[in-house]
A and B are shown apart, each in its own frame.
Chain A
Amino acid sequence: MGINGLTKRLRFLLAAGAVATALWGQPETAFAQDTEEEEDQQPVLPSTAFVLSGYGTVGWAASSGEGGGNLFTANFNPIFLFQFEDRFLFEAEFEFELQGGVTETGLEYAQLDVIATDFLVFVGGKFLLPFNVFGERLHPTWINKFPTAPPIYGHHIAGFGADPLLPILSDLGIMARAAATPGRWLLGASAYVSQGPALEEHEEEEGGEEHPEAELPEVGFPASSGDNNKNKALGLRLDLALPPWMEVNFSVLNGDYDEEGLLDFTAYGVSAEARTSGFEFRGEYIQTRQEIETEEGFPELVRNGFYAQAAYRWWNFEPVLRWTQIFNSELQGEKEEDGARQMGFGLNYWLTASIAIMAGYELNRESGLALDNDRFIIHAAYGF
């Protein structure tokens, strides 16, 4: 694992390259107006401009089975955009969610974007990690074509029989994003260093008993200002797109999750999409490999899962099919935890390009057993 064989000299050269990158990124005075002609080319913006954007959702969900019921939901995600001249953009998204009578708040991201050149952007702060594309680009409710996130993502999925493979990843760190357009293609690369994963801590349940799922250590992404070990996580995503017809992305994320920095967590991702004649096909695959400390050594707990989605736009209607599967997890070649799968049927009605009423029905199954925990969701999503 890891990159071995890098010599000291190569490291020095790479370090020099990084410094050169930073220096080269200083454009030839993007704001300097030495001549009258250049003065005419000053930016359209005053020194600072502000835009409020975001999205909101109101909905209703009903689930069957034990613990089932129905509830109304509402969430509001304002996005604040502050741009300084043509170089800096600070953007932040908050999440206010009202669910079951409790208002939950969160900071999805708060990042400073530095436009270095036409092809390179630096990002710092708390940002959505570019791992696959759902978390970074598709999770806003007015963009996601189904009323819920695919169960391979998320924290707690009601009715689904397996833990998600990853949350919607958002973490503190720094990132470099590069793009190029050879011909009609669009190539992209995003590399980042972030606080990384941590050991998920479960609160003790009433009676002092430990959480029943705490047999194996769980990995979480707390995105807090602290770090539980000295090692940062590293990640990379490569994009290959031929807009609007197809796009493929490859992602990897690696970090240590225990306090000693001994146990490794690595996630691999592949996502692909294609669209033609009103059809849109999309899918994402994730594999996570988590080292577990045992008496025999450090075997890996391996988890896999994917979702595949098809949608067809006809007039203002858009039927959607989504299949999600998380396979049985394996530890040392043996099954460790049961997998689960979900079939989702959805129908959207688009009032405008960013306002839609979305309805979905989820059939949840665990390891071939028919669980009585299906769910119906309907909501109105408004991107503004």
Chain B
Amino acid sequence: MAYDWRRKMSRLLLLTAACIPLLVANDAAAQEVDPMLVAEGAAMYGATCARCHYARSPLERSDRQWVVIMTHMRVRANLTGQQARKVLAFLMATNGQPSSGQAASTAKDEEGERTASGEGQLEKREAATTRQLPQGAAGPR
């Protein structure tokens, strides 16, 4: 016979409660873009994408587009935020746009000058995007 609603809710709550231990291990540490992260991302890129399809070229998308697509793929493929960040680090480092390292040093130099002159608030946000891995694909850390 049919289940009643209470039983179903109980089962749902049981499943939800089972997720709690996963939250405890939430890593709050921010991750800088570094070669090791990119290397790990390269390995993970080949491994996780291949679960469903052939890995697409990083050149197909811009940094910003990869952030959105990685969020989409994180949900679809049930990846963790850390996995998504590693893959994203690789994609952003190899998609033909300025490398994170170069952008970081340039941005820091420019930031110092502009802070002194009080200009460049908008550019400051842009610079920040190139020297930090975005949280987008990974979600909250």
Which residues of A does B touch, CB under 8 Å?
1-4, 6, 10-11, 13-15, 17-18, 20-21, 24-25, 27-28, 30, 39-45, 49-51, 53, 79, 81, 83, 85-87, 89, 91, 113, 115-121, 123, 133, 136-138, 142-143, 176-181, 186, 188-191, 193, 230-232, 234, 236, 239, 241, 243-244, 247, 254, 256, 261-264, 273, 275, 291, 298, 350, 352-354, 383
B2 contact from A44, A176, A180, A263, Cβ within 8 A: A263
- Give the distance to chain B from A13, nearest Cβ to Cβ, in Å: 8
Q: List 5 A-B contacts (CB under 8 A).
A: A11-B6, A44-B134, A44-B136, A180-B80, A189-B15
B136 touches A45 (CB 8 A): yes
Alpha-carbon separation in the docked complex, A143 to B49 (Å): 11
| Residues of chain B with a CB closer than 8 A to A230's CB | 5
Q: Which residue of A lies closest to B135 (CB)?
A: A86
A17 contact from B2, B20, B48, Cβ within 8 A: B20
Q: Which residue of B lies closest to A254 (CB)?
A: B3
Residue B17 at the chain A interface, CB threshold 8 Å:
yes
Residue B116 at the chain A interface, CB threshold 8 Å:
no
Alpha-carbon separation in the docked complex, A231 to B16 (Å): 19
B window 94-128: CB within 8 A of A: 125, 128
A40 touches B128 (CB 8 A): yes
| Residues of chain A with a CB closer than 8 A to B68's CB | 45, 49-51, 81, 83, 89
Given contacts A3-B11, A230-B5, contact A118 B67 (CB under 8 A): no
Given contacts A18-B16, A264-B1, contact A353 B72 (CB under 8 A): no
Nearest 9 Cβ contacts at the A-B interface: A115-B139, A44-B134, A17-B17, A118-B81, A27-B140, A188-B78, A30-B140, A86-B135, A14-B13
| Residues of chain B with a CB closer than 8 A to A13's CB | 17
Query: How would residues 23 to 55 of chain B score, 1 for a CB under 8 Å from any chain A CB and 0 otherwise?
Result: 101111010000000000000101110111111
- Give the distance to chain B from A293, nearest Cβ to Cβ, in Å: 10
B139 touches A239 (CB 8 A): no
- Give the distance to chain A from B68, nearest Cβ to Cβ, in Å: 4
B13 contact from A18, A120, A136, A275, Cβ within 8 A: A18
Alpha-carbon separation in the docked complex, A20 to B23 (Å): 10
Q: Which residue of A lies closest to B22 (CB)?
A: A119
B132 touches A86 (CB 8 A): no
| Residues of chain A with a CB closer than 8 A to B22's CB | 117, 119-120, 178-180
Interface of B is mostly: helix
B82 touches A118 (CB 8 A): yes
Which residues of B does A touch, CB under 8 Å?
1-8, 10-20, 22-23, 25-28, 30, 44, 46-48, 50-57, 61, 63-65, 67-69, 71-72, 74-83, 125, 128-136, 138-141
- Give the distance to chain A from B76, nearest Cβ to Cβ, in Å: 6
Alpha-carbon separation in the docked complex, A291 to B130 (Å): 58
Alpha-carbon separation in the docked complex, A89 to B137 (Å): 10
| Residues of chain B with a CB closer than 8 A to A353's CB | 53-57
A24 touches B69 (CB 8 A): no
B78 contact from A49, A86, A91, A179, Cβ within 8 A: A179
Given contacts A21-B19, A118-B140, A193-B12, contact A49 B64 (CB under 8 A): yes
Alpha-carbon separation in the docked complex, A350 to B78 (Å): 27
B81 touches A11 (CB 8 A): no
A176 touches B19 (CB 8 A): yes
Alpha-carbon separation in the docked complex, A87 to B139 (Å): 6
- Give the distance to chain A from B90, nearest Cβ to Cβ, in Å: 15
A51 touches B141 (CB 8 A): no
A264 touches B3 (CB 8 A): yes
A24 contact from B23, B51, B52, B135, Cβ within 8 A: B23
Q: Which residue of B lies closest to A82 (CB)?
A: B68
B51 touches A89 (CB 8 A): no
- Give the distance to chain B from A263, nearest Cβ to Cβ, in Å: 7
Alpha-carbon separation in the docked complex, A4 to B1 (Å): 13
B5 touches A231 (CB 8 A): yes
